[in-house]
Amino acid sequence: MEYRHLGKCGLKVSEIAYGTWTARGSSAAQAIAEQCIYAALEMGITTFDTADVYTRGRAEEILGKALGSVRRESVVISTKVYWPVGDGPNDRGLSRKHVTESLHASLRRLNTDYIDLYQAHRYDHETPLAETLRAFDDLVRAGKVLYVGVSEWRAEEITAALRIADQMGFDRIVSVQAQYNMLWRVVEPEVLPLCAAEGLGHLAFSPVAQGALAGKYLPSAAPPPDSRARDLVGSQLIARWLNDPVLTAVQRLAPLADEAGLSLAQLAVAWTLQNPGVSTAIVGASRPEQLRENVAAAGVTLGDDLMRRIDATLAGTAERDPGRTASPRPRP
């Protein structure tokens, strides 16, 4: 495993991070998620991404339990706030009340005194941005949060947050978490250049496009019975790529992956890590073996010619419209 700075801040994150979004559903699925966390630690992963909304806090509890036996300083824990976690009118959004209360609830579930990276899970159009940023700044000054970031914000929203922080002396956001893979490239025109200019790290989630880039979905064929496309929530996320033009293009990547000595999933993760500004690729896994396969992409360098041929192979299938940066994700 290799480690990179999160943008220009001093925090180092593992090149591959483990995301606990898949820690949902049955108790068996949650037990597997715990096994994946242990496997991640064995493979040198130090960065773990979760959110209060994942299984209504259960994902944070699983992560907190699994990390209870490791030295706290040896791992980076990232969690998020925004989506509803209850039925009350203040159980959502980025108000001072909800941000503060959600942070304390996350600390209890994760069994820790502080969060390394606390992120706004989406932009809140109903709360003044200065209120949110002041709440984050207060948590940093209180020692309960070390760094703050945002997830799936548009470039103009990030710019506004940086401007207000500079004007009011608030702690600046240090990172942007956004979906990024060979097929979903909407951050390239605006968000990634902004990150580069402002020194923000990019935590890229879904580098294998919910499994669409792993090659297991075939054109004109039903999804495998144990695949994410059969899962109610997962099927909503992967649906945009389950069409013959995209799946046919993905199959044409197989010879390029063979040439690089990689599986299709490893090629996808390596491609994401290769792009400038990416600090870490957040991968999920339905079993430890799948995680080990993805981790093998750490440290892999793809040649410029191979990168160009990948682009040519997927020409016409990748989404690049920056207006779709904040892609909606259904609540687990």
Nearest to 66 by CA among 22, 32, 115: 32
Residue 118 in this model has a pLDDT that exceeds 80: yes
Alpha carbon distances (Å) from 162 to 63, 193, 309, 322: 31, 15, 37, 19
Q: What is the mean pLDDT of residues 232-253?
A: 79
pLDDT band at residue 186 under the 50/70/90 scheme: very high
Q: Please tell me the least confidently modeled range out of 3-7, 93-97, 317-321.
A: 317-321
Question: What residues pair up with 283 in beta bridges, in sequence order?
Answer: 18
Q: Residue 302 pLDDT more than 60?
A: yes
Length of the chain: 332
Supply the pTM of this predicted model.
Answer: 0.91
Q: Tens digits of per-residue pLDDT, 129-146?
A: 999 999 999 999 999 999
User: Cα–chain-centroid distance for residue 219?
Assistant: 27
Q: Rounded to whole angstroms, how far apart are CA atoms 112 and 127?
A: 28
**Average per-residue pLDDT in the chain?**
90
Return the higher-pLDDT residue of 196 and 57: 196
Catalytic residues: 54
pLDDT (average), residues 190-195: 96
Query: For residue 331, what pLDDT band results from cuts at 50, 70 and 90?
Result: very low
pLDDT over 90 (residue 258)? yes
pLDDT for 105: 97
Q: Where are the domains of the chain?
A: 3-324
Q: Which fold has domain 3-324?
A: TIM Barrel (3.20.20)
- How confident is the model over 91-113, as a mean pLDDT? 97
Q: Is the pLDDT of residue 45 over 80?
A: yes
pLDDT bracket for residue 232 (50, 70, 90): very low
Whole-angstrom distance, CA of residue 29 vs CA of residue 148: 30
pLDDT (average), residues 76-94: 96
Q: Give the residue-averaged pLDDT of 83-106.
A: 96
